[in-house]
Structure 1
């Protein structure tokens, strides 16, 4: 209560005092473990005290020893990041798994990262998918969103919002239902996903008007994908009249939020003079920005420009650099062009 200002004025010093009291009283296991975990968090993050990674680690260890789920997960985090102890990725994985078995959402997401990146274990994208399912079934909206994308696109949706392998999990009806649930809960990305379902007939009939309205709701909540998709509607007259000036403005707004899909759409506007004057230099700058943000298509286009001296001085080394970046993400055209240059 003192830490969060719940029913009382926020007072970090008082919070620390009572966490310490709780952590010293071993007669009530649950309270003791809870106090140890919270005290560890304070030491780790410098809340009401100086940062002390060693004390944080020791407090999390005590909490974990008494079966506190958050303590187990946080102890895993210490081993994974080397907080108050040496890095031990295998130990981190084991602790995340232990906490995830007790349905800790945070631990499940930490475990997802381990299996996706190969931290303390082999890369296992089937396991990643199963863990997203588990978190979604426990009601976590972020997992439901990721899972909806997987089902919607027939692919697994990874941590950096790029698509990865497979069409084994395609289930368009489930994608629609998950998106509908998220929209009903007033999540911006739920509105956006549901709009996409209506626009493309995924698990439902095509309904351009509903798609437009849902993208508008997502955009009103500041969702960059909703803003971009609303721009797309205005450009092509999906559920509304064509308004290329409005499309340009919305693409720009989403691009300002670092949405790389919007950047590519904005590039098209600058190259073709849609809603603005032709400005190929601006288009080139946007390719650079999107490429630096990890968009594989932009990386390919930038590499091609450097290879052919289009809008920029020819530079084969830069071309190879960007083809490699794009090819690493599975962009086949980049790999083909790279093979020709090497």
Structure 2
């Protein structure tokens, strides 16, 4: 697949490899960044009662763009632009919200500012409490944010049952973002059994309502035959429609289609253009794909300096694939000076997002003392973790450790088991080692 499913696109897409707030009733103790005007000193062109209208308009804008599937960074920028256009100081908004917690829009918006750290220090537990309070007042956006917080365990303990229950409520209201998110729950089994057909149906419903995440997820379903038959043309059309509606994720998917000739003729130039457009809009997946093109000289003259620049950009945005590639570059001195400390750090960051190749390579670092003190027991644990995730190299290395008794007690039965797993995936080293071992059994 071109990139991962777009499940939630919450305030902070974690996405998770891939990797949200405690109401303090004493407003005087709120940790505001700078002392600012109270509502008694609001901009002379803005009456205090007008702020109530502005808060409602802000909430409506946020909800509209959430249901359209606009990316979180874009939504945030539009919120800030909206406030700027009214020539209101952000602290004026904050102080007004602190003293006017009388409706769900005000409660939710204050939680949003706490989540993002807008004019206040970021406090996800505090934001969670505001979202929870607004959600209890049937605020749809707050309920949506809570679902994602329960799924990710960000600012609150993970709770898939609560996430699924809230998600069903949102979808039942016909909320496009809720339909897409419920599709994700059925897709991966969050609070319910996995049901790919149901997931596909919900993604399609969200897409029919113009939700960009729904369109992209629908394309992925058609691309991989998830809950439906593989249909290259429909996948291409879904990505194309998402692109036309301004989705940078759609641009990235569509670029991949042109690069690989999926549902269309191969057009590397078009792929490069789409990746570039999305990358300039800070899409980390597009930045990664564009970096690959510069690294390989595909569709563009090879340029390692540009590739490294893009890898660093997307790695800093949390892209586990870019972190993994950069780690290899620092390990091998490819385009950069060899730096084992950075190698270890980047493999670790990528591994923390659940990327099995990175988990395996982190085990390799511990096994060989690359950027860290050698620790064969830790290496064994990491190889085992990646092997369970069906990583071929990790399965081979785990088998080898069982065979020679490194980091674990020697166990030939386990060695053969993992060599077989690796060999069945075409690992020639595992096939040869297995053949030798089976002669003795």
> Is the shorter-chain TM-score for this pair beyond 0.5, marking a shared fold?
yes
State whether structure 2 residue 207 is matched by structure 1 residue 136.
Answer: yes
Aligned match of 1:292: 352
Alignment of 1:1-342 (within 5 A): 1-4=53-56, 70=140, 93=164, 96-112=167-183, 114-115=185-186, 118-152=189-223, 154=224, 169-309=229-369, 312-335=372-395, 337-338=397-398, 341=402
**Cα drift, residue 301 of structure 1:** 1.2
Contact 1:114 1:120 (C-alpha < 8 Å) held by counterparts: yes
1:178 and 1:120, CA in 2 relative to 1: closer, same or farther beyond 3 A?
Answer: closer
Contact 1:179 1:193 (C-alpha < 8 Å) held by counterparts: yes
1:117 and 1:328, CA in 2 relative to 1: closer, same or farther beyond 3 A?
Answer: farther
- Alignment root-mean-square deviation, CA: 4.3
1:191 and 1:313, CA in 2 relative to 1: closer, same or farther beyond 3 A?
Answer: same
SS of 2:299's partner is coil
Contact 2:279 2:287 (C-alpha < 8 Å) held by counterparts: yes
1:237 and 1:95, CA in 2 relative to 1: closer, same or farther beyond 3 A?
Answer: closer
SS of 1:4's partner is helix
**Cα drift, residue 141 of structure 1:** 0.6
Contact 2:164 2:191 (C-alpha < 8 Å) held by counterparts: yes
**Cα drift, residue 239 of structure 1:** 1.9
Tell me how many residue pairs correspond in the alignment: 301
Question: Which segments of 5 or more consecutive residues in structure 2 lack a partner in the other structure?
Answer: 1-52, 59-84, 115-125, 152-157, 403-407, 409-441
1:15 and 1:170, CA in 2 relative to 1: closer, same or farther beyond 3 A?
Answer: same
1:303 and 1:239, CA in 2 relative to 1: closer, same or farther beyond 3 A?
Answer: same
Decide which moves more: 182-191 or 266-275. Answer: 266-275
| Alpha-carbon distance between aligned partners in 1 of 2:221 and 2:93, rounded to the nearest angstrom | 44
| Alpha-carbon distance between aligned partners in 2 of 1:283 and 1:151, rounded to the nearest angstrom | 37
Question: Which segments of 5 or more consecutive residues in structure 1 lack a partner in the other structure?
Answer: 21-34, 82-86, 157-165
Which structure carries more relative contact order (alpha carbon 8 Å, separation 6+)?
A: 2
| Alpha-carbon distance between aligned partners in 1 of 2:317 and 2:131, rounded to the nearest angstrom | 36
- Could you state the TM-score of these two structures normalised by the residue count of structure 1? 0.68
**Cα drift, residue 218 of structure 1:** 1.1
Q: What is the CA deviation profile of residues 28-64 of structure 1, one whole-angstrom value per residue up to 9, with x for unaligned ones? A: xxxxxxx7x65885898899xxx9x999989867x77
| Alpha-carbon distance between aligned partners in 1 of 2:363 and 2:242, rounded to the nearest angstrom | 39
